[in-house]
Amino acid sequence: MPLPANVRGRRLLAPEREQWSGMAESMKAGGAGLLTLWGTDDRDRDGRFRIHAAYLLPNEVVLVEHPLPAGAATYPGLAPLFPVAARLQRATADLLGIAAEGGDARGWLQHGRWPEQAFPLRRDSAPVERVAESGPYPFVSVSGDGVHEIPVGPVHAGTIEPGHFRFSVVGEKVLRLEERLGYTHKGVAKRFEQLSQHEGHRLAARLSGDSAVAFSSAYCAALEAITGTALPPRAAALRALALERERIANHLGDLGALGNDAGFALGLTQFSRLKEDLLRANAEVLGARYLLDLVIPGGVATDLTEERKRVLVQQSFLLETAVLGLRSLYDEHPGLQDRFRDAGRLDLALAERLGAVGMAARASGIARDLRIDMPWPPYDRLAPTLVVQTAGDVAARVQLRFGEVVESLRLCRAMLEKLPDGAIRIEVPVAPPDRLGLGLIEGWRGPVLIALHSGEQGAIRRCHAHDPSWQNWPLLEHVILDNIVPDFPLINKSFNLSYSGHDG
């Protein structure tokens, strides 16, 4: 299994059901988390479906592949060991028609948009007409004295993607929350199959627009791993620079929005101004506000002149001064702290049990970050500082953002001060067929993975993209319990999960 140079990994075959289940139990016992799960249709080759599970250990990725018996379309479910598997399995059933045994059998992505027995990712699937809206979704109901339901969404006020949230409450206290997502499902996996290997990075960058650099970097890393392409040092540094600026931009936007949700409009105006300054500098120096087309196979599309480097270094100092000043203001504002503290608490034990990842996990004391655990150039020489909080509430997620902004600004300056000379791109050959490569990048939300199956003559046979929001959306259903309904927007924003990345 080709992997980027920074990633240690193994690919294991589990030909029997017992081996598939046994390997999952072994991974759980060894402290691994389930990173993602997807299925493939290889019936045109050997008459079988396959299910793949990628497990993440602190310093290793383990990919387990289970070929289903010929003619079979079920496999042992993983949700009892790894809760995140439940929704991944439901999505796989909707798309490919292979179902996990046991657990939740409700659909997840379909929403009546294609017939019940049409499975878009099967090799023999044909275009279908949209069907009439399906019947009511069977939400889990809660009964008792004074209990009532509040349905929110899927259409929301403002510019926001759709998602349905069903609250069961007594008064304003939340007893249960059940999410229904999948409304923005775009058929991305099928679209990848219509592109060449050297075009796929553009689609990857658009899976979740706020994580364009992370997804396009992961895609390119997978393709470069399959083809044995070594990235030029300057190109690697420029990719990392863009990745850190993406992290900073999103954290700045969130810090402003969180202040606003807590009734502090000044925070929104100030952080919006800082984010706008960063995006304008992106446009001036890197060619676009949002860097959808910067990362390309073999390198990057835009270089930096000495003058442009100076612009970014100067901006980083100005940003740091402003952010530190606003951090003091947030820390000392009693109204903000009253709303932030103890709201939406995710304690360490629950975070570990549910498989939290990325920023949300670090705010609850889980000290994992791929830039540190599996550092790739230039992170292997920059030695990033891990930012961790332990309280697990909104206040902790706010503090984590402040800390990561400051650290990312430091990393940007370090990269700019020692930017290697040389080429920004190297040619990437066409990958041979029947290869599977993984690209794994720590995006601003958490681990972003691309699993790229190469096809004939430079085609893509299958490309599975995984956003960390899959792990973290279920957390909201737990952290909102015993909080009041009006605090949900604040708690939700403190995670800031992606609908689009989840619903690819």
pLDDT band at 133 (very low <50, low <70, confident <90, very high): low
What would the two tokens of residue 433 be?
Answer: 């067929």
Options 3.30.390.10, 3.30.460.80, 3.30.70.260, 3.40.50.970; which CATH number does 1-139 get?
3.30.460.80
- Res. 176: pLDDT tops 80: yes
Query: Partners of 165 in the beta sheet?
Result: 152, 179
| Separation CA 123–CA 358 (nearest Å) | 34
CATH class of 188-472: mainly alpha
Look at 159 and 198; give whichever has higher pLDDT: 198
| Separation CA 52–CA 54 (nearest Å) | 7
Give pLDDT tens digits for 50-101.
999 999 998 899 999 999 999 999 999 999 999 999 999 999 999 999 999 9
Give pLDDT tens digits for 226-247.
999 999 999 999 999 999 999 9
Sequence ranges of the domains in the chain: 1-139, 140-184+473-504, 188-472
Enter the pTM of the model.
0.96
- Res. 2: pLDDT tops 90: no
Give yes or no for a contact between 84 and 466, defined as CB atoms under 8 angstroms apart.
no
Task: Compute the average pLDDT of residues 417-434.
Answer: 96
**CA separation, residue 119 to residues 110, 127, 241 (Å):** 10, 10, 40
| Separation CA 138–CA 319 (nearest Å) | 48
Helix axis angle for 233-261 and 306-332, nearest 10°, is 30
| Separation CA 446–CA 248 (nearest Å) | 14
Helices (H) and strands (E) in the chain, counts: 17, 14
| Separation CA 92–CA 11 (nearest Å) | 21
Give yes or no for a contact between 257 and 274, defined as CB atoms under 8 angstroms apart.
no
Give pLDDT tens digits for 354-407.
999 999 999 999 999 999 999 999 999 999 999 999 999 999 999 999 999 999
| Separation CA 379–CA 372 (nearest Å) | 7
CA 257, 258, 264, 268 torsion-angle sign = negative
